[in-house]
Amino acid sequence: MWTGFPLFPEAASTVAGGVDALYWFVIAISVFFSAGIFAAIFYFALRYSRKSLDEVPKPIHGSLALEITWSVIPFLITMVMFGWGTSLFFRNFHPPEGAMEIFVTGKQWMWKLQHPEGQREINELHVPVGRAVKLTMATEDVIHSFYIPAFRVKKDVVPGIYSSMWFEPTKPGKYHLFCAEYCGNQHSGMIGWVHVLSEPDYEAWLSGAPRGETMAQAGERLFQRLGCFTCHRADSPGRGPVLEGVFGSTVQLENGVKVVADEVYLRESILKPSAKTVAGYRTQMPTFQGQISEEGLMQVIAYIKSIARQERMNTPQ
């Protein structure tokens, strides 16, 4: 089927324009230099082609001035590219404040996505236009990579840790979602669509989409089922620390180090409780490795987050 001859992917996020601009810049420099080199080769090859069998041209040893010139100029040009690219990368690295959150789980061979409000999708992601979206991503098995070409964003999803990335769509439409890191048999089937909807369409989709409980509610249910509440009590410190208000706060560990209790820390504390124990609590908690799925973990963390938010609302400074 003839689908035209596209040369450029759609640019549909806030970072896409910057990436494309830099790309054009490097391309322009590259074309300039390759054209120069090719022209020189053609010209020399024709101009100085061998005229007679015993022709012996005069030797030229080299020229320090030339060597320095063609080392320093490319160096300076590459440093411009480096500076531009690195600043672009750094600026685009941290998500803006107040980004809406989506939780992504990669699994051979599908993407499972959860909205905090409870909508769950597989290989499809609906997001509103013009709002920053932060993805928190984990994988149940091997390394995957979440890639949306139209947004120029990509991030590996590595077992054992949370990866995160963000984007802000600028154009409503339907865009490819790929797994970019080879993950086994159906790697090329681990694809889907990102639907960027206008604000009203998104509201309509939200209310129309089947939704069960919110992530926090699901997490609370897991919290009960796994018996976490017997030690982590809401009212008074039990055998484990009180979790109300803990998310986003700074906790002191047994070895004196202070860490921020973020998603990564909570995840580690559930799976490897003895790794970073809060000061004053002996390591009694069993590991929950193998007893809770990555999706479940995200839900429990969403629950712990939600009780932190309630806590802050209840006790205004």
Is 216 among the residues that bind another protein (CB under 8 A)? no
Is 313 among the residues that bind another protein (CB under 8 A)? no
Looking at residues 282 to 301 of the shown chain, list those that interact with another protein (rule: CB under 8 A).
Answer: 283, 286-287, 289-290
Q: How far apart are CA 272 and CA 266, in angstroms?
A: 10
In terms of CB distance, is 193 or 229 closer to another protein? 193
**Which structure tokens are listed for 25?**
């810049």
H/E element holding 26?
helix 16-47
Looking at residues 115 to 144 of the shown chain, list those that interact with another protein (rule: CB under 8 A).
Answer: 141-143
CB 299 within 8 A of CB 218: yes
Is 33 among the residues that bind another protein (CB under 8 A)? yes
Q: How far apart are CA 52 and CA 289, in angstroms?
A: 79
Judged by CB under 8 A, how many residues of this single chain contact another protein?
Answer: 101
Is 275 among the residues that bind another protein (CB under 8 A)? yes
| Binder among 158, 209, 231, 292 for another protein (CB under 8 A) | 158
Question: From residue 233 to residue 272, what is the string marking binding to another protein with x (rule CB under 8 A)?
Answer: ----------------------x----------------x
Which span (113-121, 201-209, 235-243, 280-288) binds another protein, by CB under 8 A?
280-288
| Binder among 120, 131, 171, 176 for another protein (CB under 8 A) | 176
**Closest by CA position to 175, among listed 210, 199, 151, 203:** 151
Which span (39-47, 126-134, 231-239, 307-315) binds another protein, by CB under 8 A?
39-47
Q: What are phi and psi of 45, to 5 degrees?
A: -60, -35
DSSP 290: T
**Cβ contacts of residue 168 below 8 Å, gap of 6+?**
13, 14, 15, 96, 130, 131, 132, 133
